[in-house]
């Protein structure tokens, strides 16, 4: 079915209620965003390729000489609204109806509803996600489980943020002049269009997370989108607030500049640790000095990760902006109290380090972890945030610190885990679930990117050897893959395996690992299969 408006065309199926989101007025607004900003998005994506080429030729990422004045200048972001002063615990999750209610009721200060890493962007997930968020803002959202359990919002709920898709992702079910539009502009635009007035009437505001930025020019693009959107709907400038994820190695060198570009709309920065590891590996993949050990060994205490976290705190607080921490991947383990306590212990240590260092809040992936993170931040952070404390203001983080290669080993178990978890995740994503519990860890698009890029690199890197001396090769991958697929079949059962899009997942995964050309994001070839 297709609905034609001026130049913009919806080619996705129109199920019940979809027209309530895809109104002619909302589509006109999206069309204007794409008309005004679509070409710049494409140019910025080309700039990413250009910078990658320079890195491949040996030019390492560094702080930009041309923006030194901004780094040295004395400026701050605009004051934060009242409901963004205290963000000590933020829960994240997909925009699934039940989860939206559970997250808003979880006791966390903020719920980040995610159209990015935790969402497989099927047309249904995207449009139903918008319906769910609209109903959440209206406070009419409800849900009934097949077992009769009913879900409604509590009196007091978390503040809502929405993470729009990254600039690299398109929405192929909405075309402008026959071409797919930006997924991020769609997510932002629809949520803003349908909810801004209601959010303001309820004393909150249109709050966003912006993922995977690679430069301050990308932040400038988003700022221009915000300025346009506010003007167009008659909303006061500076109403929109956005937290930018520092989750690419390139953005780590432009934190000041990103805050500066968005300074009227900024709600600080967040350490998106999983994509950051992926980006470090992706950008430096052709550098013979750079290689990462097993995924489990690349933690926030690795020197390059710690430098990045501390620099985020220093930069944000100098600019009076919140510096949000990141996501520990552990989730509750039912039916095994000891393993559960160990998992909670790991989350606790992670959050203690973040709070102690000076982060103003942190992320959790599951309602069961909200009390764990809250207890730590309540203990370590007796006031609403640490923006005005002097923590980390005296440290110096250099380009070398940010690029320092971590030590550690590559093991056969690490290779196996990357294959096993990577394929299971891709199968889940293709089946419409963008976040999945696998071996008691939260897996999403960002963690899967690490798994597959490590395999790609270990096969090709001169130092891609196991701790027992064997070189990681394509043949080893093929052999271990067969064994891991058998293991998965045993664990989840033949029926779930057959119904789980595993064959397509394996073909997609093989393409990512075995082709010499590095694919920028799993979700790009993945989206062709959705």
Ligand X SMILES: CC(=O)SCCNC(=O)CCNC(=O)[C@H](O)C(C)(C)COP(=O)(O)OP(=O)(O)OC[C@H]1O[C@@H](n2cnc3c(N)ncnc32)[C@H](O)[C@@H]1OP(=O)(O)O
Which of the residues are catalytic?
163, 444
Measure the CA–CA gap between 241 and 161, rounded to whole angstroms: 9
Cβ-closest position to ligand X: 93
Identify which of residues 213 and 403 has a Cβ nearer to ligand O=CC(=O)O in the complex: 213
Cα dihedral 344, 346, 348, 354 sign? negative
Non-local (6+) Cβ contacts of 523 within 8 A are 121, 168, 169, 429, 445
DSSP letters, 418-470, are HHHHHHHHHHHHHTT-SSEEETTEEE-HHHHHHHHHHHHHHHHSTT-B-TTSP
Identify which of residues 229 and 246 has a Cβ nearer to ligand O=CC(=O)O in the complex: 246
Closest approach of ligand X to the CB of residue 117, in Å: 3
102 binds, among Mg ion, ligand O=CC(=O)O, ligand X, none (CB under 5 to 8 A by kind): ligand X
Measure the CA–CA gap between 378 and 360, rounded to whole angstroms: 11
Closest approach of ligand X to the CB of residue 94, in Å: 6
The residue range among 114-122, 200-208, 345-353, 494-502 that interacts with Mg ion, by the rule CB under 5 A, is: 114-122
Closest approach of ligand X to the CB of residue 451, in Å: 13
366 binds, among ligand O=CC(=O)O, ligand X, Mg ion, none (CB under 5 to 8 A by kind): ligand X
Measure the CA–CA gap between 110 and 247, rounded to whole angstroms: 20
Identify which of residues 117 and 171 has a Cβ nearer to Mg ion in the complex: 117
Expressed in angstroms, the distance from the first to the final Cα of the chain is 17
Closest approach of ligand O=CC(=O)O to the CB of residue 28, in Å: 31
Closest approach of ligand X to the CB of residue 470, in Å: 31
442 binds, among ligand O=CC(=O)O, ligand X, Mg ion, none (CB under 5 to 8 A by kind): ligand X
Cα dihedral 49, 51, 56, 57 sign? positive
- Residue 170 binds to Mg ion (criterion: CB under 5 A): no
Cβ-closest position to Mg ion: 275
Identify which of residues 163 and 241 has a Cβ nearer to ligand O=CC(=O)O in the complex: 163
**Tokens 């997510």 sit at which residue?**
187
Q: How far is CA 125 from CA 104, 120, 245, in A?
A: 18, 7, 22
Identify which of residues 9 and 247 has a Cβ nearer to ligand O=CC(=O)O in the complex: 247
Identify which of residues 369 and 488 has a Cβ nearer to Mg ion in the complex: 369
Residues in the chain, overall count: 530
Task: Give the footprint of ligand O=CC(=O)O on this chain (CB under 6 A).
Answer: 117, 245, 247, 272-275, 326-327, 446
Closest approach of ligand X to the CB of residue 282, in Å: 15
Measure the CA–CA gap between 38 and 24, rounded to whole angstroms: 20
Task: Give the footprint of ligand X on this chain (CB under 6 A).
Answer: 91-94, 98-99, 102-103, 114, 117-118, 274, 327, 331-332, 365-367, 435-437, 442, 444, 446
**Tokens 């199920």 sit at which residue?**
15
Non-local (6+) Cβ contacts of 478 within 8 A are none
């Amino acid at each position: 079915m297709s609905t034609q408006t001026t130049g913009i065309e919806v080619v996705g199926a129109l199920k019940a209620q979809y027209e309530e989101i895809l109104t002619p007025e909302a589509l006109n607004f999206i069309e204007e965003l794409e008309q005004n900003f679509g070409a710049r998005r494409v140019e910025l994506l080309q700039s990413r390729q250009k910078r990658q080429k320079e890195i491949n030729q040996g030019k390492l990422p560094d702080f930009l000489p041309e923006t030194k004045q901004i780094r040295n200048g004395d400026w701050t972001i605009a004051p934060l609204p009242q409901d963004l002063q205290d963000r000590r615990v933020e829960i994240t999750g997909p925009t699934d109806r039940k989860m939206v209610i559970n997250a808003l009721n979880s006791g966390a200060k903020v719920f980040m509803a995610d159209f990015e890493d935790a969402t497989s962007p099927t047309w249904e997930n995207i449009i139903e996600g918008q319906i769910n968020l609209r109903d959440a803002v209206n406070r009419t959202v409800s849900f009934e489980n097949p077992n009769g359990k009913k879900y409604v919002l509590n009196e007091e709920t978390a503040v809502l943020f929405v993470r729009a898709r990254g600039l690299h992702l398109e929405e192929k079910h909405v075309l402008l002049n026959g071409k797919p539009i930006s997924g991020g502009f769609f997510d932002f635009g629809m949520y803003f269009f349908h909810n801004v007035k209601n959010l303001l009437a309820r004393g909150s505001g249109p709050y966003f997370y912006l993922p995977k930025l690679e430069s301050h020019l990308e932040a400038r693009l988003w700022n221009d989108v915000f300025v346009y959107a506010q003007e167009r709907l008659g909303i006061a400038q500076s109403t929109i607030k956005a937290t930018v994820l520092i989750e690419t190695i390139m953005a780590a060198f432009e934190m000041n500049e990103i805050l500066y570009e968005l300074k009227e709309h900024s709600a600080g920065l967040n350490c998106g640790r999983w994509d950051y590891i992926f980006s470090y590996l992706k950008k430096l993949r052709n550098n013979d000095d750079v290689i990462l050990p097993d995924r489990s060994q690349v933690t926030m205490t690795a020197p390059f990760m710690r430098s990045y976290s501390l620099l985020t705190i220093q930069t944000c607080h100098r600019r009076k902006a919140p510096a949000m921490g990141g996501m520990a991947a552990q989730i509750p383990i039912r039916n095994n109290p000891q393993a559960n306590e160990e998992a909670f212990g790991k989350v606790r240590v992670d959050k203690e380090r973040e709070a102690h260092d000076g982060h103003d809040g942190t992320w959790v992936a599951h309602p069961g972890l909200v009390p764990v993170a809250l207890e730590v931040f309540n203990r370590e952070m007796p006031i609403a945030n640490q923006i005005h404390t002097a923590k980390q203001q005296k440290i110096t983080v250099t380009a070398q610190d940010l690029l320092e290669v971590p030590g550690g080993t590559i093991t056969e178990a690490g290779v196996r885990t990357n294959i096993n978890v990577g394929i299971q995740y891709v199968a889940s994503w293709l089946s419409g679930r963008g976040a999945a519990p696998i071996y008691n860890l939260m897996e999403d698009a960002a963690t899967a990117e690490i798994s597959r890029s490590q395999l790609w690199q270990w096969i090709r890197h001169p130092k891609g050897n196991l701790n027992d001396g064997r070189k990681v090769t394509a043949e080893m991958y093929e052999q271990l893959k067969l064994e891991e697929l058998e293991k998965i079949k045993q664990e989840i059962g033949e029926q779930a395996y057959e119904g789980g899009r595993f064959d397509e997942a394996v073909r997609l995964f093989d393409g990512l690992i075995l082709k010499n050309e590095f694919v920028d994001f799993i979700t790009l070839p993945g989206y062709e299969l959705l």
